[in-house]
Structure formats: structure tokens, C-alpha cells
Amino acid sequence: MLPKFNRVLLKLSGESLMGDRNFGIDPKMLDQYANDIRAITDIGVQVAVVIGGGNIYRGMNESETGIERAQGDYMGMLATVINGMALQSSLEKVGVKTRLQSAIKMEQVAEPYIRRRAIRHLEKGRVVIFGAGTGNPYFTTDTAGSLRAIEINAGVILKGTRVDGIYTSDPEKDKTAKRFDKLSFTDVISKGLKVMDMTAFTLCQENNLPIIVFDMNTPGNLLSVVTGKGVGTLVS
């Protein structure tokens, strides 16, 4: 089985780790993700991961929480490191070597993010998990995913979600929504479709980095995506 991409960046939302829970981390989801990631490393794909923190802390608006935006964003960054550590633990349990790098220095739990070192780890077959977003407030983990993917020369961003692609409208609310197989960056903008936030999306567009949106919660889908089985929606 030959992979279509040599190096990928997998972007996962923190909420996806909740499974059926309302908060926190569901061990079953971690196990599934670890096995799916191992399946693609087994066929020689180099994998980097960016994971959100919304299952632990979502930077809600200041009027609701009384916490100013920048402070809230830093709290969210720390949540992504917790998720990164959990994923790291599950991957190592199934025999995948990993490195966790953080954009905020915390030497006891993660390496500092160093681009060349990250690329070297990938070349050695280690899965690199990027924590703490970009290290700056006011940027989402989608933007961190796009930025890191460009920095490490990934061939594609794989955006794992709860739905199996990009639709004309929200398929969880609208039963008549139709799924797209392929879209151009211009199509996404002209149709007003929500793929990722505009900063992240523009970074991909300007650097010709394709995005595949797919359902990560179906076991085996990740392998199908990297072997070009036509799962999800391709934006290029």
C-alpha cells in the first residue's frame, strides 16, 4: 500500500477527544487515534500533529468569563499541551516513537519548538506533536496547524473532524446539505464555506498547501485518506 503523501500534518480539534463526554478526554478516542496514526506511520508516512484544547478550555469571550482575551488564549494553549501529552502517551503505548514540542517553554514536559529539530525527528520516523499553538494569543490552533505544516514542508493538512467533508451547509443541522469532493480555495471563499479560520486558510492558499477535511472518528479513515481512497473533501 503506497501513501500519496510523504509528510502530513494532522490537525485535530480538542473537542474530538471528548468522544461522547461533555468535557475532558475519552480514553477510547485516544486509543483509536493512536492506532490510526500508527497505521499510516507503518507505511512510511511522516506525521506531525496539532491538537486543539477546546475539550479542556475554550477561550470564551471576556464578557462571559471576566478573563481578558490574551490571558484566556494562553490558558487554551496550556490545554493543548495537556492533550498533546495524552496523545503522546497513547501513541507510545502502541509502539510509536514521539516527540512533543511546545511553542511555550516548559522543559520538564516538552521540547521547545525548533523547526530543524522537528524535521529531523520526522525524518527519523518519530511522530511530532506540536503543543501550545503558535505561542501567541489571538491565533487559533488552525493557524498553528497551517503555520507548522508550511514550516516543516508537509504535503497536505489533514483536518480531522466529526463530519466526512465540506458540505453546502452544516450536515448535522441540515439534512439536505450536499458534500463536495473537491473545491478550489477560491470556491471556498466565494461560497462562504467554513473550513478553518481565515488567517489559517489564507496561509494555506498563499503557500499552495492542500487541505483535506475528513471524518477522523471513523477508524481506518486516516489510512484511506493518505492512500488516496477519495475520503473527505480536498481543497487545493
Return the pLDDT at 65. 79
Q: Has residue 204 been placed in a domain?
A: yes
In this prediction, residues 38-44 reach a mean pLDDT of 98
Return the pLDDT at 63. 76
How sure is the predictor about 74, in pLDDT bands with cuts at 50, 70 and 90? very high
Domain count for the chain:
1
Among 39, 16, 67, smallest CA distance to 214 is for: 16
pLDDT tens readout for residues 112-138: 999 999 999 999 999 999 999 999 999
Return the pLDDT at 175. 87
Q: Has residue 213 been placed in a domain?
A: yes
Cβ atoms of 141 and 55 within 8 Å: the answer is: no
Q: Has residue 1 been placed in a domain?
A: no
184 vs 65: which has the higher pLDDT: 184
Nearest 5 degrees, angle CA 158-CA 211-CA 96?
A: 20
Q: Has residue 211 been placed in a domain?
A: yes
Mean pLDDT of the chain: 95
CATH number for the domain spanning 127: value is: 3.40.1160.10
Cα distance between residue 92 and residue 80, in whole Å: 18
pLDDT tens readout for residues 79-98: 999 999 999 999 999 999 99
Return the pLDDT at 59. 65
Return the pLDDT at 178. 93
Q: Has residue 179 been placed in a domain?
A: yes
Q: Has residue 158 been placed in a domain?
A: yes
Q: Has residue 2 been placed in a domain?
A: no
In this prediction, residues 48-63 reach a mean pLDDT of 86
Neighbours of 203 (CB within 10 A): 19
pLDDT tens readout for residues 143-171: 999 999 999 999 999 999 988 999 998 88
Residue 112, domain extent: 7-235
11: cell is: 490537525
Cα distance between residue 50 and residue 46, in whole Å: 14
Return the pLDDT at 58. 76
At a CB cut-off of 8 Å and minimum separation 6, what does 227 contact? 1, 2, 3, 4, 43
